[in-house]
Structures are given as C-alpha cells and as structure tokens.
Amino acid sequence: MRTAEPVGDDDGRRATTAAWAEVSPEAARRLLVAAVEAFAERGYHATTTRDIAGRAGMSPAALYIHYKTKEELLHRISRIGHDRALAVLRKAEAGGGTSAQRLADVVRSFVRWHAEQHTTARVVQYELDALGPEHRPEILELRRQSDAVVRRILEDGVRDGEFDVPDVGGTTLAVLSLCVDVARWFDEAGRRSPDEVGDLYADLVLRMVGARA
C-alpha cells in the first residue's frame, strides 16, 4: 500500500510534462503534452488541432509552425512513447543476472512505465489505427523489438533449464499484454503504487514461466 497521499491532476500533468523533456522548443513540447491530454480524454478522432492549440494556450497558426497535421502530433507521441518503452526494456535486460532476474527486472520496469505514464501509454496503445500508412510500419517495428526483448529472455531461460515454457511465443504475448493493460486500469488514487504493482507482476510472471525458486 502506498503511504503518500493520492497523486492529483497537477502531479499527473508534471509527470507527463517531464516525460517529454527531450522535445524542444518549449512551445512544441507544450503542444505535445496538450495533444496527449486531449487524445486521452476525448480520443484522437474527436480532437481538433484547434482544441490542442487552445489547451496549450496558443493559436492554431502557432501550432502549424511546429506540426503540419494532427497525425504528425500522434506520430511524435507514438514514436517517443515506443522509443521510451523499448529503452526501459533494454536497460532492464542489460542489467544482467540470471534469466529470472532479468525477466523480473524487465517486468518491473515495464509495469512502472505503464503505471506512471498511463495517460501517454493509453494514447500510444489505443490510437495505433489512427497512424498514417507512412508511419505505421516504423511503429510496428519498434513493437517487434520490444517483443523480442521478452522472447530472448524466455528462450535463454528455457535453454539454461531455469524456465519451463511450453509456448514461448504465446507466453511472450501474455507477459507483454499483462504489463500493457496496467495503463488501462492504473489509477494514481488507487491502493497500489507503480512499484508495488511492478513487484507483484514480476512475481506472477516468474510463476508463469515456471522459474525455479
């Protein structure tokens, strides 16, 4: 159980803004944060570039200096979100240790990311179909690379006799699905912190792969 007070909207917004620190200039970053919030609240198709500019306290003309279309905003969000998620997975994988330790680290980090960045993660996961045909293959390739991290660890564990996994492809899918769905149900005001969910899920996944204790 978390000991701090529930995190309010302001903290949520600070977390979202901090996550986009790499985007510059500042006006482009503000527009991106406004787009994430608008897409998460009303959906991509119900949001106009005028809505996004208004949320960012800017004019539609100012928006067009940075983003030519609404789809360009979604693509930037999706690209950065997928890059981050993949970086989180690869960092955990590179941490070393046994296959069980690496798998637990990967699940813990990936869950924490989907809990802390749940607003961004929802947009990234639920608006994939709205990406244009010129952007979709690039994003799908990043998703394949994320899948590959989990699959590699499962294969290593099976080869070394650490894991018992009859269906590596299906189990990879289930592990990633469990982590991704955290973005749907996670609530800052809820009973579990991102770290607590990460620890719980790491234990459940080690059980799924029949890790030797």
Binding site for its own copies (CB under 8 A): 42-46, 125-126, 166-167, 170-171, 173-174, 177-178, 180-182, 184-185, 192, 197, 200-201, 203-204, 207-210
Closer CB to its own copies, 29 or 125, in the complex: 125
Cβ contact 93:152 at 8 Å = yes
Closer CB to its own copies, 50 or 207, in the complex: 207
The CA distance from 166 to 52, in Å, is 48
Neighbouring C-beta atoms of residue 165, cutoff 10 Å: 18
From the CB of 96, what's the least distance to its own copies, in Å? 25
From the CB of 26, what's the least distance to its own copies, in Å? 29
| 32 Cα distance to chain centroid | 16
Q: Which long-range contacts (CB under 8 A, 24 or more apart) does 51-55 make?
A: none
Give the torsion sign (CA, 120, 130, 75, 169). positive
- Pinpoint the alpha helices (H) of the chain: 9-19, 26-42, 49-55, 60-66, 70-94, 99-116, 118-126, 136-159, 168-180, 182-185, 194-208
Closer CB to its own copies, 70 or 84, in the complex: 70
Closer CB to its own copies, 20 or 201, in the complex: 201
Exposure string of 115-149, with b = 16+ CB inside 10 Å and e = fewer, is: bbbbbbbbbbbebeebbeeebeeebeebeeebbeb
From the CB of 64, what's the least distance to its own copies, in Å? 22
Closer CB to its own copies, 113 or 201, in the complex: 201
From the CB of 121, what's the least distance to its own copies, in Å? 12
Closer CB to its own copies, 50 or 91, in the complex: 50
Tokens representing 112 are 């924490």
From the CB of 80, what's the least distance to its own copies, in Å? 21
From the CB of 93, what's the least distance to its own copies, in Å? 21
Q: Residue with structure tokens 């406004």?
A: 34
